[in-house]
Chains A and B, each alone.
Chain A
Amino acid sequence: MNKISTTTALLLSMGIALPAAAQEDDTIRVGILHSLSGTMAISESTLKDEMLMLIEEQNEKGGLLGKKLEPVVMDPASDWSRYAEQARDMLTGDDQVDVIFGGWTSASRKAVLPVVEEENGLLFYPVQYEGEESSENIFYTGAAPNQQAIPAVDYLRSQGVERWALLGTDYVYPRTTNKILEAYLKDHGVADEDIMVNYTPFGFSNWQSIVSDVADFGSQGKKTAVVSTINGDANVPFYTELSNQGISASDIPVVAFSVGEQELSGIDTGPLVGHMAAWNYFMSVDSDANYDFIDNWVEFTGDDMAVTNDPMEAHYIGFNMWLEAVREAGTADVDAVKDSIIGVTVPNLSGGSSAMMPNHHITKPVMIGEIQDDGQFSVVWETSGNVAGDAWSDYLPESQNLISDWRAPLRCGKLNVESMTCEDGAGAE
């Protein structure tokens, strides 16, 4: 490795152009950009392992276009600016990759966005996010708000919930999601005094007065639910406080958007039975594709208790879509894949199939699961069909007229359908 890079540096310094050597050898390189240390390691290191498993499986099947897939793993260490640096390394360095799978927090995605646009790379981002963004070079395989938050609120409304406590961690994803939810609830006739919004810092642990406030808010005679966008390890003391104060799911149910099987594996779920999460996949989903995936995963990790979760399914779908698009295009070239991937449909793990939409979001079913005492979720409700991800929320006044369509000849990520002008390709900022 060192030898090669010295040679490359030498050649470059002599002014000799390398004829894209990296792309014409017999491997296709897949970049994996997930934090393996720091606060996000708990969630992201699993996704790195999953990508290695998927790549290994594909190589056993004979690789792609007759070439072997080669994983290129880097560790951005939960440091957002390092995501950008390492993405640039992957796209321009010696190991030039053809595609990157990575990111978890919105902050990491926002850091990588300008890099992949500038260097024309591909990023598959597997986590549910706040929307209000569309990039030509990013494929959002996680849920947009209309594929998670809105259906979850609809379900609770159908269960008779009339008061809403929106609790979140203080950063961009919860704030944007709650803004959309507040607008949505008010559209549906919920009064101001029936909505309570509260933000807490990352890693917050002093939940007692907030939980007690919620209990008080919920004892006014109207059925109350908590919509939680609390992220990371603050969830553990939050749920502990809930059970210590004796708030069960039949009193005030909590529906969470960032708590999955992985996060629950660190908590005693006995007192939490009945609290909910909204995702597009649960490990308990009843389909043969899912059972096969779990068997492979248990075998690959060598851990009988290994769990799967929604972002893992998103990577599974994203990886298969990319394989299909490369096959269709006959090359791993970024521009060709960007065009061929739109409309590609692959099986998902819940027994149906997902398609890549022109706005670089995918279609998938939305499910509500209730926590069981074994740390799994039991699906109590799901949409009858797939829901297509919406990049720009219809419920915010500033984005309700915007759409995204990356097909030729439009190729615009922020098209105002009223004035029919393309405002900007990049994110909302």
Chain B
Amino acid sequence: MTANRNGYTRRETLGLGAAALAAGTLGMPFVRTARAQAATFKAGVITSLSGENILGGNLTKQGYDLWADAVNAKGGVEVAGEQFKVEMFYGDDQSNPATGADAAERLIVQNEVDVLFGPYTSGSTIAVQPICQKYQVPMISGSAESPNVWKAKPEFNFGIIPAVDTTSGLSIGVLAKQSNPAAKTVAVIGVNEPFSKETGEGFRDGVAAAGLELAAYELVPPDGDLTPVISKIAALNPDVVAVGGHEEILINVVKTSKSLNFRPKALIMHYGITNPAFAQALGADADGTTGVVVWLPTVAYKDDVFGTAKEFSDMAAKKLGGEPDYTAAGCAASGLVLGDALKRLGKKPALTPEDRVALKDAIAETDIQTFYGPIKFEKDGPHYHDNVQPVPVLVQIQSGKVVAVGPKEAAAADYIYPLPAWK
């Protein structure tokens, strides 16, 4: 019960020592590391490696990496006759906007990146935009699909994939045209989470635009059970069921529908059915599911980094163990936009703050052809800085493979409609 002469107990001394040690360790990162010898362009990737958006987050990272690997294998980005390699830095946003903002600040201040590649979730993207603005660092978002991102007119952010309100709505009309006998009634399920809800709303508005009848519009919480809503929709017996959700819910929708023996004439879902894991998880039950994509490995586009879409797909398949979907493609194409803008800018690394603003202006003037398709950013309107060039393609899983079924000029196979009963 007695303290030492100096008033400290041994435990206190131990504790102070530990605190000093901790302070020392924490102090270390404050020391700035000198730039590496060979100059490189530094790019920061913010994406969801944990939390609820892990699928999209990981596909996004894979896409950005595909470009970095491909361009580095060719010696780097060519600027004014010299080649510079690209160095990638990563920040996990934990599917959380605040962590996304932390990651952006770290990549810009700590890693001194010249440019950012944007997050998968719209929440993170919206939280990161002001930070890009603050430091005047351009960001290219290869996967953000939410229309909310572009409503704020972000000066420094650019989107490769058209906002989902422009694609999911159109796809219902395409589906109605491809179906024979023509589909008349549609029930829409939207999962009540960012992006999925907007996808659902896109489907809902598309139903009206295509002159079809909306049998039901249901918002379901992401943690809820799907049997009640599927039973309710089954009782209304619509021709088409459209679902806006993420991969886990989509898998559960198919499983629940089958276990309740409900098979609509068409089931259209967005986003995630083109990821190989979807067909893997469901086996033969995945067959017949319709999806919406803005890119497929079979499209007839090409560029000089990746070659044709098919060559890109083969390279990606070798690295990732499965055909890439349009998220990975959009993210890889983000790199092409950066490479093109850097070439036109003609400034060597490291970029000065003025260079980065000029780079932003160069990106805004992008007008290129890539394996992903034409890329050109909107200069005004509700989709400011989004690339709305790609047209949605309707795909269907047939014998485990994703094939294009509409619109007519893009179709590689006949659309299976109505779907046969469950096996």
- A and B are interacting partners: no
Residues of A within 8 A of B (CB): none
